[in-house]
Amino acid sequence: MVSRAPEPVMTLDEWRAAGAEFRFDGHRVFYAGEGNGRPGEAVLLVHGFPTASWDWHRVWGPLADRYRLVAPDMLGFGFSAKPDPHDYRIAEQADLHEELLDLLAIDRVHVLAHDYGDTVTQELLARAVEGSARQKIQSVCFLNGGLFPEAHRARFVQTLLASRLGPLLSKLTRERAFARGFSAIFGPDTRPSRAELHDFWRLLRHDDGHRKGHLLIRYMEERREQRERWVGALVDAGGRGIPLRFVNGALDPVSGAHMLTRYRAVVPDADYVSLDRVGHYPQVEDPAGVLKAYFGFLRRHRFLDDD
């Protein structure tokens, strides 16, 4: 049984202090990296909207005991640069990940992704299926996210951000409204504390990021434009030797049980785990459940030896 999201394992300030930076197309990009593993291999952790790599801090330690980990803040997020004006595109974010992996001499990855990061991972997966990826994708585990645009239930604020009112809404964004809306996508018993909500706000507000949501939200339109290719990558991945698993927080109003139903209908031999008492952020709300599901997935495909 899950009762309230646990307290942070690593504070936001500790997370930032332990990280590093690199330059991508002239922009400063923050990333976290740690852990043990085979040379040239890593777990790539791809965060969601509107947060950043700190999302992974509660699963970080157990993962780092077994694998080398790499987790950037994407362009426009967290402690990375947030250029404005800028045409934020999913393909660009995928390029950013490939560039960082090249820099770190990593040529084989297992991907653990969430939300917006699911969409970036679908782009990386499409490249792998098409034979143009710069790294070999060995496996992919998705957490809650809009894998199928027809099943994604956008929040009202997302719809407004994507409309002509988006720039005005970005300018008016305040911490109290953010905290209220953000908490609502968590499970009723696993919502973040007030202190943790403030840290998520700090991440969003860094470099005036809270005023740039209308620039980033275009990913919802891209999901519709790229649906055939990105959903096709999910369908074709197994035939290319890339196993997939979907770990789904069932109580998520955006991409919960209804998204899992669609996944099971579309993806051949669908491998999934439902976390019945959590919402949109399983890795924050139920890190033990996510780790159990993820390690079970890796063991199933012989990517992880039994302890």
What residue segments make up the domains of the chain, in order of their start? Answer: 12-300
- pLDDT given at position 172: 85
Pairing verdict, β 244-249 and 27-35: unpaired
Share of the chain above pLDDT 90, in %: 89
**Per-residue b or e along 164-197, where b marks 16 or more CB atoms closer than 10 Å to that residue's CB:** eebeebbeebeeeebbeebeebbbeebbbeeebb
Class of domain 12-300: alpha beta
Cβ neighbours around 232 below 10 Å, total = 16
Do 275 and 282 contact (CB within 8 A), yes or no?
Answer: yes
- pLDDT given at position 8: 67
Token couple for 53: 């790599």
Question: Which residues are CB-contacts of 291 (< 8 A; sequence separation ≥ 6)?
Answer: 59, 62, 63
Question: Which residues are CB-contacts of 292 (< 8 A; sequence separation ≥ 6)?
Answer: none
The ranges of the chain with pLDDT < 70 are 1-8, 306-307
Tokens 């990375």 belong to: 80
* 50 vs 143: CA distance, rounded Å: 15
Longest C-alpha distance within the chain, in Å?
53
* 128 vs 110: CA distance, rounded Å: 13
Q: How would you write the chain as a 3-class SS string?
A: CCCCCCCCCCCHHHHHHHCEEEEECCEEEEEEEEECCCCCEEEEEECCCCCCHHHHHHHHHHHHCCCEEEEECCCCCCCCCCCCCCCCCHHHHHHHHHHHHHHCCCCEEEEEECCHHHHHHHHHHHHHHHCCCCCEEEEEEECCCCCCHHHCCCCHHHHHHCCCCHHHHHHHCCHHHHHHHHHCCCCCCCCCCHHHHHHHHHHHHHHHHHHCHHHHCCHHHHHHHCHHHHHHHHHHHHHHCCCEEEEEECCCCCCCHHHHHHHHHHCCCCCEEEECCCCCCHHHHCHHHHHHHHHHHHHHCCCCCCC
- pLDDT given at position 105: 98
- pLDDT given at position 171: 86
Please give the model's pTM, rounded to 2 decimal places. Answer: 0.96
* 171 vs 5: CA distance, rounded Å: 30
- pLDDT given at position 307: 53
pLDDT tens digits for 155-180? 878 998 888 878 888 888 999 999 99
pLDDT tens digits for 85-134? 999 999 999 999 999 999 999 999 999 999 999 999 999 999 999 999 99
Long-range Cβ contacts of 91-95 (<8 Å, 24+ apart): 91/123, 92/25, 93/120, 93/123, 94/120, 94/123, 94/124, 94/127, 95/24
